[in-house]
Amino acid sequence: MTRQKHLTKVLHVSPEMAPLSKVGGLGDVTGSLPKALQRLGLNVRVLTPAWPGALEKASRKGLTPRLEHHHLALALGSRATEGRLWSTVLSGVHTYLLEQEELFCDPAIYPSSLDAETIRPFAFLALAALELAAKTGWEPDILHVHDWAAALVPVFSRWHRYWGDRPGKGATVLTIHNLAHQGIVEAEVIEQWHLKPEAFQLEGLEYYGKVNCLKGGILASDAVTTVSPTYAREIMTHEFGSGLEGLLSSVKDKVSGILNGIDPDDWNPTKDPSIPCTFGPDDTSGKADCKRALLSRFEWPDDGRPVLSFVGRLFHQKGIDLLLGALPDLARHRVRLVVIGTGEKEYEDRLKEAARRFGKTLGLRLAYDEALARLAYAGSDIFLMPSAFEPCGLSQLIALRYGTIPVVRATGGLADTIVDTDENSEGYGFVFKEFSASALLEAVYRAIKAYRNTKRWRNILERSMRQDFSWTRSAQTYQTLYESLRRNKRARPGKNPAEDERWDRP
């Protein structure tokens, strides 16, 4: 009798998952990476909270969830908290939605401030991830958790009074999407979460007298990944380490950078129903119709000016200060600039004032408007990402897909994905290094100069659209990591590979 091959079973645990819930790029990643892994033959499932509207969104998409378990009681504090577990199949991936109306009630997902009460939803999610195997009979080989909000999974797996002593647990992978967010709360949660006393120490969750969830997750995980190779190196420096650079350097052997990707089916200008005219690298003529449609949204004529766009959150990280500093010069240079996004009130107010002052240059939409964002990707000529830091970035990859040429700062994933066309004849973007408005302007002027050369611009545009930043290659790298962890976990049951200097990491 032929022995059936065991497919590596992977459970992704994430606080958000597009299209059911989304705040930023993390939602896009957990909405697309599991699908790519499934295509490689892995047995992949996802656990994510049923935030307000998530179950209804699934039903509207014809994915009506079914109730897996009506009664899911998990110990938080002095009492059990009860939830329900729903399941559906999203893009071919078995997806669990964890419902708890008192905890998962904030449509914003992340609280404006963290304390012992507001962090409870994420502790409940972590306990549910560990309990899931007992409830469903599906025992994952790998628990792949995302950012601080799911970092409690490896923390509980190592230091919880019950789960920490349970044999046969799967290996854990923690992906850091943004090190700036760490989940720091008061130490009282140690007792509320039923953690062993040794959890609150320097080689655990303790961080200047408080609990740091991400720090604990880094120490407790079997492997740590970031979302680009450059960001993996950057977070071990004082400039980008957010206070954890020493810790990350001390465990550098288990840290690697695996570049994020985008779903080529979702972001495809040849069949995108949300844009007025489809186009592709073999026939880019439809892009001009998209540009006219974008201009008309702001009541601008199609007078030959290049159209620049910015789509993203309005925070310092995204380089909004540089954008605002460059606006007067851009206005004198006769360009159009479309800005779409929401963020800090200071930046929203400054952009409103700039729009009043430079109304013929700046078109502003202070909202999360996916339809307009897609039109901006398709209808713009140049896409701006002047980030102070950027773990990976997905917007520049989407812009490439739609033939909108990125101007980016050389940091994190931007440095890994965009090749400057003035430095490399096969390039498809424009890159600057110094974090200043003048450096941004110099790169924009280089892009505009190329835009004025019709033949050269068409070649750059076509090259940009042929770049492959799908998940295929990165998913294969994750598969290799999973299988290595699984082999080592099987060879050393009950052993934490992070504690063994001889552990053979990929």
SS3 labels along 137-152 = CCCCCEEEEECHHHCH
Domain that holds residue 452: 286-465
300 and 250 in a single domain? The answer is: no
Mean of the per-residue pLDDT values of the chain = 93
pLDDT higher than threshold 90 for residue 7: no
Angle subtended by helix axes 152-159 and 213-220, to nearest 10 = 60
| pLDDT band of 491, cuts 50, 70, 90 | low
452 and 478 in a single domain? The answer is: no
Burial (CB count within 10 angstroms: exposed 0-12, middle 13-18, buried 19+), residue 353: exposed
501, part of any domain:
no
187 and 257 in a single domain? The answer is: yes
256, part of any domain:
yes
Among residues of the chain, what percentage have pLDDT more than 70?
96
Give 88's contacts (C-beta < 8 A, 6+ positions apart). 58, 63, 64, 65, 66, 95, 97
The CA distance from 335 to 304, in Å, is 9
300 and 163 in a single domain? The answer is: no
Nearest to 399 by CA among 429, 367, 422: 429
92 and 218 in a single domain? The answer is: yes
Amino acid at 79: R
405 and 330 in a single domain? The answer is: yes
As for how many domains the chain has, the answer is 2
Q: Which residues pair with 203 in a beta bridge?
A: none
88, part of any domain:
yes
92 and 120 in a single domain? The answer is: yes
Tens of pLDDT along 450-466? 999 999 999 999 999 99
241, part of any domain:
yes
352 and 231 in a single domain? The answer is: no
Q: Residue 72's pLDDT is what? A: 87
Nearest to 49 by CA among 119, 130, 105, 111: 105
Lookup: tokens for 413: 């994933």
Radius of gyration of the chain (CA): 23
Indicate the SS3 state at residue 178: coil
Tens of pLDDT along 25-66? 899 999 999 999 999 999 999 999 999 999 999 998 888 899
pTM of the model: 0.92
Lookup: tokens for 221: 């995980």
Q: Residue 495's pLDDT is what? A: 46
Burial (CB count within 10 angstroms: exposed 0-12, middle 13-18, buried 19+), residue 7: exposed
CATH for 77 = 3.40.50.2000
47 and 119 in a single domain? The answer is: yes
Strand pairing class (336-340; 307-311): parallel
488 and 449 in a single domain? The answer is: no
294 and 430 in a single domain? The answer is: yes
Tens of pLDDT along 79-93? 889 999 999 999 899
Lookup: tokens for 415: 């440095």
Contact 174, 157 (CB under 8 A): no
Angle at 279 between CA 276 and CA 281, to 5 degrees: 160
454, part of any domain:
yes
176 and 99 in a single domain? The answer is: yes
Amino acid at 501: E
Count of residues making up the chain: 506
| pLDDT band of 490, cuts 50, 70, 90 | low
The 3-class secondary structure across 353-406, one letter per residue, is HHHHHCCCCEEEECCCCHHHHHHHHHHCCEEEECCCCCCCCCHHHHHHHCCCEE
